[in-house]
Amino acid sequence: MPITQSKFDVAVFASDNDKEINFHWIYSADLFEPSTIAVMSQHYENLLRGIVARPESRLDTFEMLSPEEKEKQSADKNSFAETKAHGE
């Protein structure tokens, strides 16, 4: 029986079978856009893939962002720093 309600703003439920783990996201549509949950879901998947690939590593060494997101974040920081340096 699928879970359709949660007392939290966002909840993630996992179920597994012999071959995979499935995640079911329940969220408040008043607070979150589907696209926001999709990004959160991808970040969670990135984190879990890293943990599975390197289970001996510390949690703070794993990435949630994709390489493209990290590059954009870096570019945005640089752009902000340049704007601030020029007093704009």
Kindly state whether residue 77 falls inside one of the protein's structural domains.
no
pLDDT in tens, the chain (88 residues): 677 788 999 999 999 999 999 999 999 999 999 999 999 999 999 999 999 999 999 999 999 998 899 888 888 777 766 666 666 6
User: The pTM is what?
Assistant: 0.74
The CA distance from 10 to 42, in Å, is 15
- What is the total count of domains within the chain? 1
Q: Which residue segment(s) compose the domain that 35 sits in? A: 10-63
Kindly state whether residue 78 falls inside one of the protein's structural domains.
no
Contact 17, 32 (CB under 8 A): no
Kindly state whether residue 40 falls inside one of the protein's structural domains.
yes
Burial (CB count within 10 angstroms: exposed 0-12, middle 13-18, buried 19+), residue 60? exposed
Kindly state whether residue 59 falls inside one of the protein's structural domains.
yes
Kindly state whether residue 19 falls inside one of the protein's structural domains.
yes
Kindly state whether residue 5 falls inside one of the protein's structural domains.
no
In a 13 Å sphere around the CA of 20, the CA atoms on its Cβ side amount to 3
